[in-house]
Amino acid sequence: MREITHLLANDVTMPGAVSGRIGDVFDPNNGVVQAQVTLGDKALLDRAVAVAKAAQPAWAATNPQRRARIMFAFKALVEKNMDELAHMLSSEHGKVIADAKGDIQRGLEVIEFCCGIPHALKGEYTYGAGPGIDVYSMRMPLGIGAGITPFNFPAMIPMWMFGPAIATGNAFILKPSERDPSVPVRLAELMLEAGLPEGILQVLHGDKEMVDAILDHPDIKGVSFVGSSDIAHYVYKRGVDAGKRVQAMGGAKNHGIVMPDADLDQVVNDLSGAAFGSAGERCMALPVVTPVGEKTANALREKLIPAIEGLRVGISTDEEAHYGPVVTASHKAKVEQWIQTGVDEGAELVVDGRGFKLQGHEDGFFVGPSLFDHVKPTMQSYKEEIFGPVLQMVRAESFEEALALPSQHQYGNGVAIFTRNGHAAREFAARVDVGMVGINVPIPVPVAYHTFGGWKRSAFGDTNQHGMEGVKFWTKVKTITQRWPDGSPDGSNAFVIPTMG
């Protein structure tokens, strides 16, 4: 049985037993345990933090250009090893190879942004703020940061976190999901190969015990998290109570508003990928479609049914598959239970994906695509995140009703509107109570030099991920007020507090 272990600096001692606990890593395509991951404990974290604390000052003192060169080298290595990483990712997560490469590429785009870190770290300067007085600011690293990442993007989200944190001069400890931990370890190995000093990036595996140890550790100054909203709130509160800077991204229930003038063929094509791609296991998936008007709803439904029934579900290496299995047997059961909940609540199950079996892979964790119609905002299956290949249609009679649905929902991650009407799109974008908006763009994940973050229960904390918001999160500002006086040589005026008059 293959063992997945932590990636630590050489001088971190790791007693044989560590915590004595292991976790199973499945191949979702066939339901077989393919590896076991060693789960760490507080004592292991303490040793890793001690090494990071010793290594970080020299890394912070390394000039930004040299840090950027390591980012350039890392980017090249990831591109060189793209096929290996994609197959490794697919074998543990289940997403098809094309999706896996997209996962890696979107992470690399943040690394590309980090290659320009010298420019992003430039401070502000005011000459002559007072008589002979200049004021300037510097962005300083926090010290040691940590990232707690989810199973659904085992390449992208770690790079979203450790890229900006390391580029700005911090040491970083990554705690990836124990469900698919191999890719984060491999990425850290490639960072070392790119020239990153030992101790600056370490990967520690674990479960809640490790998460709590990270949140409580006094030497970890900043924590970034992505996961479900309940856990995000827990992470945020416990981390902040411990005096840390915390950004915690939670769940989502993203809506796609379809106006009567929308190109329905394009909408159906976009929904097929946005709702069912990666088996719906994306916080920026589009699991709710809201057509405006009965005529729009009926026409959209007529086009959606054959499109959904024509989706090909296959193993992750099937080049013709639109999506693969979900990550675990328990998650498959959870998704299918949500489908049953929708039925029990009175929604119309138009396409039922339960009980799907793939020939030759009957024990794989596959869920067929499902479509609900006549879903009501009062239904629990609408209120909560299903995180699977399930699309719910919530009909609206007017633009105002459609606008209210995502605005009043507990989640506020992303939303999209499909229309040819520029005024309607502009009005919607300005008024909707959601953090990221797409106009004829079904999955509005911003490019790397902008920032990613939702509102309401989709995000806790006031700083977004990557872009300049990421630079701000992983740094603290030091402001210097200086004067070089023409005072007496004996320095008799040295301790007079300057004024700005």
Task: Note the pLDDT tens digit of each residue in 293-349.
Answer: 999 999 999 999 999 999 999 999 999 999 999 999 999 999 999 999 999 999 999
- Return left, alpha or beta for 131; rule: phi > 0 is left, psi -120 to 50 is alpha, else beta: beta
The per-residue pLDDT for range 75-96, each reduced to its tens digit, is 999 999 999 999 999 999 999 9
b or e along 45-77 (b: 16 or more beta carbons within 10 Å of the residue's beta carbon)?
Answer: bebbbebbeebbeebbeeebeebbebbebbbeb
Nearest to 410 by CA among 448, 384, 372: 384
Task: Map out the domains of the chain as residue ranges.
Answer: 2-250+458-480, 255-439
**At which residue do the structure tokens 């200049």 appear?**
134
Hey, what are 379's tokens?
Answer: 């239904």
Tell me the percentage of the chain whose pLDDT exceeds 90: 94
The H or E element that residue 274 is part of is helix 264-276
Tell me the pLDDT tens digit for each residue of 433-463.
999 999 999 999 999 999 999 999 999 998 9
Residue 319 in contact with residue 286, Cβ under 8 Å?
no
Q: Which fold has domain 255-439?
A: Aldehyde Dehydrogenase; Chain A, domain 2 (3.40.309)
Is residue 475 within 8 Å of 166, Cβ to Cβ? Answer: no
Cβ contacts of 422 within 8 Å, gap of 6 or more: none
Catalytic residues, by residue number, are 283
**pLDDT tens-digit readout, 352-368:** 999 999 999 999 999 99
CATH number, domain 2-250+458-480: 3.40.605.10
